[in-house]
Structure 1
Amino acid sequence: MATWRELVTFIRQSYRVIRDEPEELRIRLRFRKDPEDEERTQMVVIAREVLDKREEWVQIATPFARVDECDLHSVLAEIGHTTVVGGAVVMGEYLVLRHSLPLKNLDINEFTDPLELVTGSAELLEEQITGRDDY
């Protein structure tokens, strides 16, 4: 997979797309720790980015809390101790875990593994920080 179009085709075939724009897809992933646990979901934005007007990248981003609802130092310390892929950023009023990958020569596992890691980490952070399932 080496183009945005090919990645979009894969995402449409493999995930539940909830919003489809030319440069951005939104999908919803479902999580359940144990069969008897209530299902939780996480919304993920997958966007095409162009670096230096020449290199295509894909950005995976998922919100997990509102900035005004948490202690940023504690959140960043938790991410530093537990998160392997992605980093936290403030986007508007939300704390977002995101990760970016170059599309050139991208293998499918180089997309799906970070997607699952970023989304799963954001879901755990959301549950731990807010105790809710808003995103």
Structure 2
Amino acid sequence: MTSWIDVINYVRTRYEVLEETDSWLRFRLDLGQDRTQQVSVHHVPESDGVAWVEISSPVGRADAIDLKRLLQLAGTSAVGGAAVVDDVALLKHTVPLEDLSVREEFERPLMLLVAAADRFEHELTEGDSF
């Protein structure tokens, strides 16, 4: 069985952690070509007896991008859905924590989500704020 601590330790050993609490951490991935992307991972409390891990990555300030275009772009992504949280537009994906294969069921969606968020940020803002 995979625990939240397993996920935290996995992230700590592989990425530059920027902020951390008991139920949340934010880290940065270097994507090359002078681009980086921030990611947040949240431990979502149990619902129906199942704990979840939410992966999210910002795309831009909600009031500064074309949200309709973000929804269109998000519809082309294999993982993640578009959302606005605290006035930040982002992509997010949720996976069940129980029996989570950190390498396959966390790392693969993480990398797909981050790559999509970075592409969308580049298209919608022509910048790299996140």
TM-score interval w.r.t. the shorter chain? Answer: over 0.9
The 3-state SS of whatever aligns with 2:91 is strand
**CA RMSD of superposed structures (Å):** 1.3
**Superposed, which structure 2 residues align to 1:22-41 within 5 Å?**
22-32=22-32, 38-41=33-36
Deviations 1:12-43 (A, max 9, x none): 112111112111111100112xxxxx310111
Shift of 1:8: 0.9
Q: Is the 8 A contact 2:74 2:91 kept in 1?
A: no
Counterpart of 1:126 in structure 2: which amino acid?
E
Corresponding residue number in structure 1 for 2:7 = 7
Correspondent of 1:93 among 62, 87, 93: 87
The 3-state SS of whatever aligns with 1:43 is strand
Query: Whole-Å Cα distance in 2 between the matches of residues 88 and 79 of structure 1?
Result: 6
Query: Whole-Å Cα distance in 2 between the matches of residues 101 and 78 of structure 1?
Result: 21
Q: Is the 8 A contact 1:4 1:103 kept in 2?
A: yes
Query: Whole-Å Cα distance in 2 between the matches of residues 96 and 79 of structure 1?
Result: 10
Corresponding residue number in structure 2 for 1:35 = none
Structure 2: 5+ residue stretches without partners: none
Q: Is the 8 A contact 2:74 2:80 kept in 1?
A: no
Query: Whole-Å Cα distance in 1 between the matches of residues 101 and 70 of structure 2?
Result: 31
Give the structure-1-normalised TM-score: 0.90
Give the structure-2-normalised TM-score: 0.93
Corresponding residue number in structure 2 for 1:83 = 77
**Superposed, which structure 2 residues align to 1:55-134 within 5 Å?**
55-80=50-75, 82-108=76-102, 109-134=104-129
- How many pairs are equivalent? 129
Q: Is the 8 A contact 1:4 1:56 kept in 2?
A: no
Query: Whole-Å Cα distance in 2 between the matches of residues 75 and 116 of structure 1?
Result: 19
Q: Is the 8 A contact 2:16 2:28 kept in 1?
A: yes
Shift of 1:54: 3.2
The 3-state SS of whatever aligns with 2:38 is strand
Structure 1: 5+ residue stretches without partners: 33-37
The structure whose Rg is larger is: 1
